Amino acid sequence: MKLARAIHLDDSDRNVFFSPARTGEWCLSGGFEFSDWTEADLTGKARQAFANGWLGLETFGRVTFVAVTPISDSEYAALVERLARHFVDIYGAPSVDAARGVALEELAYMADLCEAHPENTLVAVQRELAEDGVRESFRTIAAPEAKLDMVAVHGDG
């Protein structure tokens, strides 16, 4: 199975996001954070997070690029629990058990996205508000195999 880890090609994320994700942390789209946003919410660093920020699953900060990498079953299971707990703590889900299904759906969506790409592929997200909600699109950048391994984090770290 594959998922995506935060990758920083420069220091710009420190300047454009309120809370930047940590290099190497597992990420997902995190578009759910913006489900009830309007144009009025899209200012400054919040606009940047909305427009092209992936959600880190350790810091719950944002990052511009992720790299497709393999993930172990135990790491994936831990992320499900962490995301379910986040839904309880931040979004008011009634319990981790109640939130687990949504966490599984969010991670499965990201795993499906990553599965279609070779390891080390960089992925960027772009979002826009539409009448029917938040619309996401993705673009990929094939990384030179010899170069990305110097900065991408694989495995358990």
pLDDT given at position 157: 46
Nearest to 35 by CA among 111, 113, 135: 135
Residue type present at position 31: G
- Dump pLDDT digits (tens) for 21-33: 999 999 999 999 9
- Dump pLDDT digits (tens) for 89-112: 999 999 999 999 999 999 999 999
pLDDT given at position 142: 84
Q: What's the rounded mean pLDDT across residues 68-76?
A: 97
Question: Both tokens of residue 85?
Answer: 């707990």
Q: Given a cut of 70, is residue 68 above it in pLDDT? A: yes
pLDDT given at position 145: 52
**Distance (Å, rounded) from C-alpha 154 to C-alpha 3?**
10
Report the predicted TM-score, pTM, of the whole model to 2 decimal places.
0.87
pLDDT band at 144 (very low <50, low <70, confident <90, very high): low
Q: What's the rounded mean pLDDT across residues 70-84?
A: 98
pLDDT given at position 148: 47
CB 76 within 8 A of CB 33: no
**Domain parsing of the chain, residue ranges:** 2-148
E strand or H helix that includes residue 125: strand 122-130
Buried b / exposed e over 88-100, threshold 16 CB at 10 Å, is eeeeebeebeebb
pLDDT band at 35 (very low <50, low <70, confident <90, very high): confident
**Distance (Å, rounded) from C-alpha 74 to C-alpha 60?**
20
Nearest to 75 by CA among 142, 12, 140, 156: 156
Q: Given a cut of 70, is residue 151 above it in pLDDT? A: no
Q: Given a cut of 50, is residue 146 above it in pLDDT? A: no
Angle, CA 123 vertex, CA 80 and CA 104 arms, to 5°: 15
pLDDT given at position 131: 85
From first CA to last CA, the distance across the chain in angstroms is: 17
Q: How many other CB atoms are found less than 10 A from the CB of residue 106?
A: 22
Kindly give the pairing relationship between strand 133-141 and strand 122-130: antiparallel
